[in-house]
Chain A
Amino acid sequence: MQTNHHKERLYKILVIGDLGVGKTSIIKRYVHHNFSPNYRATIGVDFALKVLNWDQETVRLQLWDIAGQERFGNMTRVYYREAMGAFIVFDVTRPASFEAVTKWKEDLDSKLTLTNGKHVATVLLANKCDQGRDVLTNNGIKMEQFCQENGFVGWYETSAKENINIDEAANCLVKHIIASEKDMLQSEVSDTITPQLEKDKGGTCSSCFRSQ
């Protein structure tokens, strides 16, 4: 664990959001590089694995596809445990799915905290951007501000269908997960929290657009 050579990292990532926003499609695009308009509604929980090369290290992501219907929450919350990051997804063509974002975030934060007491890194995905931007343009919502106020480390307009920004969003999340892991290790060692790292973490999504 302590050696930095060829360390393997395994991160559990949750993919949550209202039903029909495209969680499964995003995962399939990211993991299997394809898209089908024919996915069936996800019942319960499913997960997929993705392997990344990251700074000469192997990073394994376990992506948990959690059914969006509220009542499945009773069963699926148990899978929040030990997650290191999350995507919260909404559908840009359906305002209600955006309104639910804060509810999903609050639920996530109330069920899950890192060992240093902080919340897990969460990236907001505005999916189906190929079909319009209604939610983003109509409400006059300043997304950057929304993310800061609600504790998202970044946000992306994505399209699983057209393969827009999926890899970028995942890279952003992984970057923040690794940062928060370092942060956790440090706080374990010195039992203090270094404020500089915090500042770094608060960077908006624009910092994530840069290639790794």
Chain B
Amino acid sequence: MESNINAAWPQTCDNDGERTDPYGFVRPHDFESYKEMMNEYVAVLNRRSIRWSKLLQEKPHVEKNLTVKRYVRKGVPNEHRARIWMAASGAQEQLESSPGHYQSLLTMEHDAKLKETIHTDMHRTFPDNVLFRSKAEPSLQRALYNVLLAYGCHNKAVGYCQGMNFIAGYLILITKDEEKSFWLLDALLGRILPDYYSAAMMGLRTDQEVLGELVKAKAPAVGQLMAQYPGIWTLVVSRWFICLYIDILPIETVLRIWDCLFYEGSKVLFRVALTLIIHHQPEILRARSLPEVCDCFKQITCGTFTLDCHTFMQKIFTEPGSLSMATIDKLREKCRQRILDEESGQP
């Protein structure tokens, strides 16, 4: 098992001497810090890998219980990720109950506008990933295009929304399978997340406000600072939510967050945001203008705090304190109503 992980961790890649991580991302600037982190993290990965193999041997059917929840929070090993995500999110069930659905979506006639929009984002999804380059053999761009096109036909209310390209891209990197990626995307958009990507983006706008409310309660000084700048939450956190932290946080950290997202639901997105904000209160409070606040919110996502994913994931369950689903539900309802009221009040 140890050799398995080490094999998945090439120090350098042959690709024209470019230094890439195991997922194919070129890391010209932060390769050393990433490698350093991984050298320590590999011990955790090995330990978790052994535990998970044992668990799955005893109980091949992934149940939802406290043990599995604890296991998920400590990280799903990459070799089991696709399987656990599929099982925990209900995507596996969907896939099995709708055989051929994905293929049929690909062969039907497609809306020209949908095709063009998706096509425009192909070379702008992961240009820094060798596997997504158009010249790669095989290029994952094809798989990405297929998954997004199929999803756009499957869920017409959503169609295609930017951000989905990054999410589908990660799913393809992890599952290495179009159909599984499709059903995982469906689990996220259809069940796990409130409606983030449909035309009105109501769920997203609501969750930005909800975060604002949570910050007011848990870090009042930051809440006060942010209140000076109307609309600032959209500016600083819309990308966090739309991209589910892709490109905001380091990839290993994002995957660990997604482990919890697929297993526990969207609450974890708030835990991450709150941890980032609460942990960096002094820095945020030093900001004196809108540009400074925005800059600060970019800075707090970088560095060892977020790179060290194992410690970070422990922190998100302690630093923000208790966060019940009932609280979130209540805040979502309140904020949603507020947005609707504001909208209807406008000329």
Point out residues on A near B: beta carbons under 8 Å.
Answer: 19-20, 37-41, 43-45, 47, 49, 62, 67, 69-72, 74-76, 78-79, 96
Contact = CB atoms under 8 A, between A and B. Distances in A.
A19 B238 contact: no
B234 A75 contact: yes
Main SS at interface, chain B: loop
A37 B166 CA distance: 17
B235 interface: yes
Contacts, number: 70
A67 B242 CA distance: 13
B230 interface: yes
A78 B231 contact: yes
Contacts of B204: 75
B121 A41 contact: yes
A43 B200 contact: no
A75 B238 contact: yes
B238 A74 contact: no
Interface centre among A45, A71, A72 (most CB of B within 10 A): A71
Main SS at interface, chain A: mixed
A71 B127 CA distance: 24
Contact of A96 (B116, B162, B243): B116
B234 A78 contact: yes
A41 B231 contact: no
Given A19-B117, A78-B230, A43 B162 contact: yes
B336 interface: no
Given A71-B201, A79-B231, A40 B127 contact: yes
Contacts of B127: 37-40
Contacts of A19: 117, 120-121, 162
Contacts of A74: 200-201, 205
B239 A44 contact: yes
A48 B327 CA distance: 37
B79 interface: no
Nearest to A24: B124
A76 B294 CA distance: 15
Contacts of A41: 121, 124-125, 162, 165
Nearest to B127: A38
Nearest to B112: A96
A75 B201 contact: yes
Contacts of A75: 201, 204-205, 234, 238
11 contacts: A38-B128, A40-B126, A41-B125, A41-B162, A44-B239, A45-B235, A71-B197, A74-B200, A75-B205, A76-B234, A79-B231
A67 B230 contact: no
A27 B121 CA distance: 19
Given A49-B291, A71-B201, A74-B200, A79 B235 contact: yes
Nearest to A40: B124
Interface in B107-145: 116-117, 120-121, 123-128
Nearest to A48: B291
Contacts of B124: 20, 39-41
Nearest to B163: A43
Interface in B234-266: 234-235, 238-239, 242-243, 247
Contacts of A72: 162, 201
A44 B231 CA distance: 12
B153 interface: no
B106 interface: no
A71 B200 contact: yes
B238 A47 contact: no
Contacts of A47: 291, 294
A69 B160 CA distance: 10
A44 B161 contact: no
Nearest to B113: A96
